[in-house]
Structure 1
Amino acid sequence: MKRALLYLIPFAWLGPYLDWKEGSILGYALFLFGLGVLSYSLARRGKPKYIVIGNMASFVISYAIALSVGEGYFKPLTASQLVLGVSVLNLVVQIPIVMHAIQKQFENNKSAP
């Protein structure tokens, strides 16, 4: 599914990077909103495995980039610690969104003749 390929964007890296370079929290908003919408749409289509695989791929890419940057990116955290924390925050936001989408899909399928 083409939409699932959007998970290859290192969202967990882009949020902190844009904050560091531009001083803007827009990257975090894009990260949370973008992944939320993407996860919701995939859950509504009945593709939860793409959500899991996609989140793992996005995290691995972001983490690899963070490791290449090294220490001192966001004091007192390292870049990799920040990516890990942002990724956990993403799951806290994404899980209710995905559960809601799955519930809606189940209700729609249940009411269909």
Structure 2
Amino acid sequence: MKKIGLNFLTLCLYCFPFVYFSIYTDFTNGSMIGYLIMIIITSIIAFEVKCFNNVFVLIIGNILSAIISYFFICNIINEQWNTYFKPLMPYQLLILVSLLNLIPQLFAIKLAGKYKERKNIK
């Protein structure tokens, strides 16, 4: 029962629209800090997911986060967004950033695997 609750909590954390938040922060403030926050938070979540041996939550969570970000981008977008992110459209940027965000998560998963091995050896 405890593992189900932990998986549900992790899935709820992943449902935050990280990519939309990053793109919105970039658009409104001209700052890349949103992308950095996204990378740090999703990497920490990926590390924890690997430590608890449930990579399925990681996959579903990333898909849900991208879908929710797409929903926000489609419903809140205005004409200025189309010109700010040239040559990409905002939904194309969503796909690109979502895919690029998987790279630090894969590193976090590998790091968690090494951490678990070292912990099991001791």
Q: TM-score range by the shorter chain?
A: 0.7 to 0.9
Deviation at 1:107, TM superposition (A): 4.1
TM-score normalised to the size of structure 1?
A: 0.86
Show the counterpart of 1:6: 13
Identity of aligned residues (%): 30
The Cα RMSD (Å) is: 1.8
Of 79-88 and 61-70, deviating more is: 61-70
Pair 1:101 & 2:112 matched: yes
Alignment of 1:18-29 (within 5 A): 18-29=25-36
- Which sections of structure 2, spanning at least 5 residues, go unmatched? 1-5
Distance in 2 of aligned mates of 1:35 and 1:80: 20
Aligned 8 A contact 2:22 2:32 in 1: yes
Distance in 2 of aligned mates of 1:10 and 1:92: 18
Pair 1:31 & 2:38 matched: yes
The runs of at least 4 consecutive aligned structure 1 residues that moved more than 4 Å come to: none
- Which sections of structure 1, spanning at least 5 residues, go unmatched? none
Pair 1:41 & 2:48 matched: yes
Equivalenced residues, count: 111
Distance in 1 of aligned mates of 2:32 and 2:94: 15
